[in-house]
Amino acid sequence: MTERADVLIIGGGIIGVCAAHYLAERGRQVTLVEQGEIASGSSYGNAGLIVPSHSTPLAAPGALASGLKWMLDPESPFYIKPRLDLDLFDWLLKFTAHCTDAHARRAIPLLRDLSLASADLFDELAALDFHFGYSRKGLLLVYKTEEGLKHAIDEARLLAECGVVSKTLNANDVCALEPTVQSGMAGALYFTRDAHLNPAEFVRGLAEWVGKKGVRIHANTTVTGIEKAGRRIETVKTTNGDFQPSEVVVAAGAWSPGLARALDLRLPIQPAKGYSVTVKRPASCPIISMILGESRVAVTPMDSAAGPILRFAGTLELAGMDLTINQRRVNAIRRAANHYLVGMSADGLETVEVWGGLRPCSPDGLPFIARPAPFDNLTVAAGHAMIGISLGPITGKLVAQMVCGEKTAVDVTPLRVERF
């Protein structure tokens, strides 16, 4: 069976669902296919942070030095699985070339504009009639050591020059603001425009909302092939029939390079595995979300339909498309909280879920939001790395503007596929 479609979106994570929303708002007939359940990829169990504070790209000065130091520690927040993989090798070369001050200075203003525009769109989405635990209380970057705090203040200077400001708090200020932080910390940076949400409830809630507005959502439907004729994609083959769409949007996160390959397009995206541990909300639970600085663990208090929860998330493993869970690193994430927060002993926490997900990482820390030059009816929206939740709504809006031939809200030239 072959079905005609106006816009066909591949991928039911935050990027695909947000694109569906803004396309439907423009009156387009949207069909979305997702190989699992909606929000079953990276958009499911992540930390749910909306972070203009993270406008420094992953490829930044200092990233290489910290990476090499961490490689030697089996419980560290960063790991590359040694293997013979030409795509990984090529990606690492490109990543290394972008770890410069000049690249950071070019990338920060763009990521700042995208993040702030997206943060405003979350305010609008929060007015729709579904609940996703949206909370605008800011983000604390808490440091135990003077050295860690000093390093963070140095990094924040470049962000501040680009208009992303933070307040530096001493140990007393931190405890006064967030009494669940242990006394005796070196201090913290406080980013007041950051926010948090329950990511799975956001994506699933929005998918249900757009479904009611006419978007056709096919879960458990895997794209198995894409056929082109000249400059157009003609047929998208799936496990539940074929589609002949006018427009195709590839929003398949870490799986996007595999789909692009069918079109002879190279998308240098590496999957970077991270883990989260979700527990029932303990008696002593933070209200403000945090990053535990030295251990790079995010702590997010979340609302969920099943009751309040607290989520710890972290680790970045370049280990390929592999979702196996490394218990040692998960334990390290869990233990980190003991060193920063009160009342976090393991026996006081009731685990709800341990999860692993694949962040889709580009080598320069910028996503691909683009109409690839060889095609007239293809849009790619992938490669959002650590900030795909933050950038979900603005990406969806940009995709809709590009598909509809409108002027984009932000200049997307630096996000084109051909930049590598």
Ligand X SMILES: Cc1cc2nc3c(=O)[nH]c(=O)nc-3n(C[C@H](O)[C@H](O)[C@H](O)COP(=O)(O)OP(=O)(O)OC[C@H]3O[C@@H](n4cnc5c(N)ncnc54)[C@H](O)[C@@H]3O)c2cc1C
Residues forming contacts to ligand X in the complex (CB under 6 A) are: 10-16, 33-36, 40-43, 46-49, 51, 222-223, 251-255, 259, 274-276, 298, 313, 357, 359-360, 382, 384-390
- Which residue type sits at 315? T
Phi and psi torsions of 412, nearest 5°: -95, 5
CA distance 61 to 71: 17
Quote the least distance from Cβ 170 to ligand X, whole Å: 26
Residue 42 or residue 278: which is nearer to ligand X going by CB?
A: 42
Shortest distance, CB of residue 102 to ligand X, whole angstroms?
Answer: 25
Residue showing tokens 């710890």: 312
Smallest distance from ligand X to CB 202, Å = 10
| 389 contacts 258 by C-beta, under 8 angstroms | no
CA 333 – CA 335 distance, rounded (Å) = 6
What lies within 8 Å, CB to CB, of 230 at 6+ separation is: none
- Select 186 or 380, whichever has its Cβ closest to ligand X: 380
Tokens of 266: 């190279």
- Cβ-based nearer residue to ligand X, 175 or 238: 238
Residue (31 or 377) nearer to ligand X, CB: 31
Q: Are 246 and 5 in contact (CB under 8 A)?
A: yes
Q: Give the count of beta carbons closer than 10 Å to the beta carbon of residue 9.
A: 32
Tokens of 203: 């994506």
Q: Minimum Å distance from CB 184 to ligand X?
A: 27
Query: Which residue's CB is nearer to ligand X, number 186 or number 198?
Result: 198
Crossing angle of helices 14-25 and 199-212, rounded to 10°: 30
CB of residue 189 to ligand X, shortest distance in Å: 16
Shortest distance in whole angstroms from residue 39 CB to ligand X: 7
Residue 96, classified by CB atoms within 10 Å of its CB into exposed (0-12), middle (13-18) or buried (19+), is middle
User: Which C-beta is closer to ligand X: that of 38 or that of 188?
Assistant: 38
DSSP state of 281: P
**172, burial (CB in 10 Å: exposed 0-12, middle 13-18, buried 19+):** exposed
Nearer to ligand X (CB atom), residue 67 or residue 357? 357
CB of 274 vs ligand X, minimal distance in Å: 3
